[in-house]
Amino acid sequence: MPELASTIRVEALPFLSAITSSVDAAEAAIALRKSAAPPVQEAIAYCFAHAGQVDRAVVALDNLDQLVRPVHAFQFEMVERAKTLRMELMADPLRARARLDLWEEGSVRALGLERFRLRIHS
């Protein structure tokens, strides 16, 4: 365990301390060069949407749509969430942001993460 803590301090904290906004989080995910993984692409899209960067969010959502070939229920749900968010971003970005906040609240509660919650503001 001491080795893990040391590695986190040396490797992760400098990287994570630079993330102060939703856009920073999205750009950090892109920099990891793993953005072709659907969950990473989804996070990138949601971070841009959260930051109000509609054009970048829509591009990321379109990329996500190209990456996911639904086979399992969770993949169908991912695609449906992305389509819903994309439509709302195009029609009413403020409503889309409210939806993201609602989804976030539900996830935090469902996972029991209230005390660990870190709010990143755009």
pLDDT digit string, tens, across residues 31-71: 766 667 898 899 899 999 999 999 999 999 999 999 999 89
3-state secondary structure of 11: helix
Please give the structure tokens belonging to residue 76.
Answer: 């169908």
Domain residue extents for the chain: 21-116
Distance, CA of 56 to CA of 44 (rounded, Å): 9
- Please check the confidence at residue 12 and state whether its pLDDT lies above 90: no
Global confidence as pTM: 0.72
pLDDT digits (tens, 9 = 90+) for 60-89: 999 999 999 989 999 999 999 999 999 999
